[in-house]
Amino acid sequence: MCKRTGIGFALKAALFATGCAGIIAEFVLSTLAAYLAGNAVFQWTIVMSLMLFAMGVGSRLSRRFRERLLDIFILTEFSLSVLCAVSAVVAYGVAAWSDYTHLIIYLEAFAIGTLIGFEIPLVTRINDAYEELRVNISGVMEKDYYGALAGGLLFAFVALPHLGMTYTPILLGAINFLVAGAILWRFFPLVEYKRTLAASFAAVLVFLAMLAAFARPVILYGEQRKYRDKVVYTRQTPYQKIVMTKWKNHHWLYINGQEQFSTFDEERYHEPLVHPAMKLAADHADVLVLGGGDGLAVREVLKHPGVASVTLVDMDPAMTTLARTHPVLSAVNRGAVNDPRVRVVNEDAAGFMARDDRLYGVILVDLPDPDSVDLMHVYSKNFYGLLHRHLIEGGVMATQAASPYFAPKAFRCLVKTIRAAGFPVLPYHNQIPTMGEWGWVLGMKTDRIDEAGLKAVMMSRTFDDIDTRFINRDAMVSMLHFGKGVLEPEYMDAVEVNTEMHPVLYEYYLSGVWGIY
C-alpha cells in the first residue's frame, strides 16, 4: 500500500513539473515564432491554440494504450524532454536557410502539445487504482494547473531574462528528464521494459549534455543568418530581443528584428524627430522623451541651450543600461544618458503619463512601430490626449509616425488621431537610406495658430545655431511638403481615428507594403 501511495504522489509531482515545463514550452515557442516570423499577436494566438488542440489529440490517443502504462509514461517524459530541449536549436537552424521557420515551430508546438495531452489521462489511469475518481481527477488537474502558474512565473522572472532562448528550452528538457529519471529509478522494480528505459535514460542524458554544449553556436549561426551584417551583440530581455550588427565602421541596432537605427544615417531620423519641436516650443527647459532608450534623441535634445531637465521613459532597463555602458552606444549618443540633467524612468509610457504630474515644454515620442496590438494604447487618441494635458501652453509634441510611403494608411491614421486629441498638426517626412521614407507628426498645444500657420512658422525657422549633421532650413522646407496621394482630404476621410477600443492602426500598419524595400 505504501508503494502504491508513493506512486500516486510521485506521478502528481511529475504532473506539477510537467505543467510547469508545458506552459514554459508554449511561451518559448510563441516567443520564437514572434521573433523569427514577426506579427507577435498572430504568432502567440496560433501557437497557443495549436498546442491546446494538440493536447486534445494526445488525450484521445492515450485511450489506445491499456498495458504497461508506467513504462509508457516514462518514455513519454523522455520524448518530451528531447522535444522541448531541441525546439529553439531546430527553429534557429531552419531559420538560417528557410523563410518557413514558423511552420517548423507550429510542428514542434503540435508535437509537444500532443505529448502533454497524452500523459495527463495516462497519469489519471495509473493513479485510478490508488484513489477514488473524484479525488484522483481533481488531484491530477490541480497539480498540472499549479505547475502552469509556477512555469509562468519561472519564465517571466528567471528563464527568459537570464537564460534567454538558448538555454530556457534546455531547462525544460532537463525538468522533464529529471521527472522521468526520478520515477524510473524510484519504481524500477515496477517497470517491465527495464533495459529499454535504462538505455533511454542514458541516451537522453548524453543528448542533453551535448545540446547544452553546442546549442549556443547553432543559435548564434541562425541569428547571424537573419542579418546581413556581423552580429556583435545579442540579448533577450523580458521585453524584447536586442541585436546589434556591424558593417565596416557602422553599427545597426535591432529590436525584435526591426531596425531601430544605423550609425550610417541615424541623424536623418533623430534630427527631424527632435529639432523641429525644440525650435517651435514656447519653452524647452523641461523635455520628456518616451521610448528612445538608446539615448540618441536625448543627445539631440541636449544640444539646445536652456535645457534644464530631460526625463527619458523606456520600459526596458536593459536598453537604457546598454545606452549608458556599451562602448558603441555611449559613443554614438555622446554619453547623453549619463548627463546629470537626464532622469531615466523604466516604465510603460502610458502608465508613466497617467501618474506623472509634471508639465513639459516638449514631449518627444520615439516608440517602436505600431506593429502589434499591445502597442495600440500608446498610439491612441486617449494617449495623445494625455500628452496634450502634460504640455505647457505653447508646448510641442512630436512623434515618429511610421512611413507615409510604405504604410500610408497608418501615417494618415496617426495624423488624424493626433488632430482628434486636440492638436493642430504638422506632418513631415524624410528619406532615410537604411530605412526608406519615414514620417513624423508634430502637434502644438495652442489655440492661437491653425495648421497652415504652424507650417508657415516652421518653414521660417533656422537651425544654424545647433550642431546638426543633416537638418537645416532648406531640409525642413523640403520635409514639410508631400506629393499627391498622401494627405488629400479624400485619403484622410478614408481612415479612422485610432482608439484603444477600436485599434484600426494595427490593421493599417500591417496592410503596408513593407516587403518591397
Annotated catalytic residues are 366
Sort strands 342-345 and 360-366 into parallel, antiparallel or unpaired: unpaired
Residue 143: enclosing H or E segment and its boundaries?
A: helix 133-154
Return all residues near 307 (Cβ < 8 A) that are at least 6 apart: 284, 285, 287, 301, 341
CA distance 263 to 270: 11
Whether residue 219 contacts residue 165, with contact meaning beta carbons closer than 8 Å, is answered with yes
Long-range contacts of 13-16 (CB under 8 A, 24+ apart): 13/143, 13/179, 14/73, 14/77, 14/123, 14/179, 14/180, 14/182, 14/183, 15/119, 15/120, 15/123, 15/140, 15/143, 15/144, 15/147, 16/143, 16/144, 16/146, 16/147, 16/150
Q: Determine the 3-state secondary structure of 509 from DSSP.
A: helix
Q: Are 321 and 355 in contact (CB under 8 A)?
A: no
Task: Catalogue the E-assigned strands of 195-266.
Answer: 230-236, 241-247, 250-255, 258-262
All cell numbers assigned to 354: 497617467
CA distance 284 to 75: 67
DSSP conformation class of 367:
P
Encoded amino acid at 437, one letter: E
CB 318 within 8 A of CB 237: yes
Closest CA to 20 of 110, 119, 152: 152
With a CB cutoff of 8 Å and minimum separation 6, the contacts of 168 are: 24, 28, 88, 155, 159, 160
Beta bridge partners of 231: 245
Q: In whole angstroms, what is the distance from residue 98 CA to residue 95 CA?
A: 5
Q: Identify the CA nearest to 313 among candidates 358, 277, 376.
A: 358
